[in-house]
Structure 1
């Protein structure tokens, strides 16, 4: 079920997660408890935003490379913690 969408002319989705979460909240009148997102959304800023909103995130930390330097934002303690969360769950991971 699609509850929100966001369209941008950008190779990386890293700046699109917060507006997308805002749209989900506006359309459903509730904040999601969990979010699953692909590696395009992975950044320290997005993981911090999920924590501030009280949303448990499952964001892939894969090797997607983007020409705008997005790979540099995919490093840090929050990304490392997410990588560990996904590894611990193994095949049972919500992602």
Structure 2
């Protein structure tokens, strides 16, 4: 998958599915650190994009217990660590 991302730099990496989730959201929630790193290296990535339930890639990574991905996301200036989803839960509250 990382090789595909490298070969297709013209792909819209902020595209959303029917639930409003982005590739970064799925990669973070699935614990795919190499893919998260590759996506975060792209200037145009929206690292704090919210899905239809206002969940962010950070909250998905925290829920999965993917500490290394949580650290990558928290190291960015454009990720809000205390954002609330529709149930008023923050990413920290999703931590396993």
Greater Rg by CA? 1
More strand by share: 1
For normalisation by structure 2, the TM-score amounts to 0.37
For normalisation by structure 1, the TM-score amounts to 0.37
More helix by share: 1
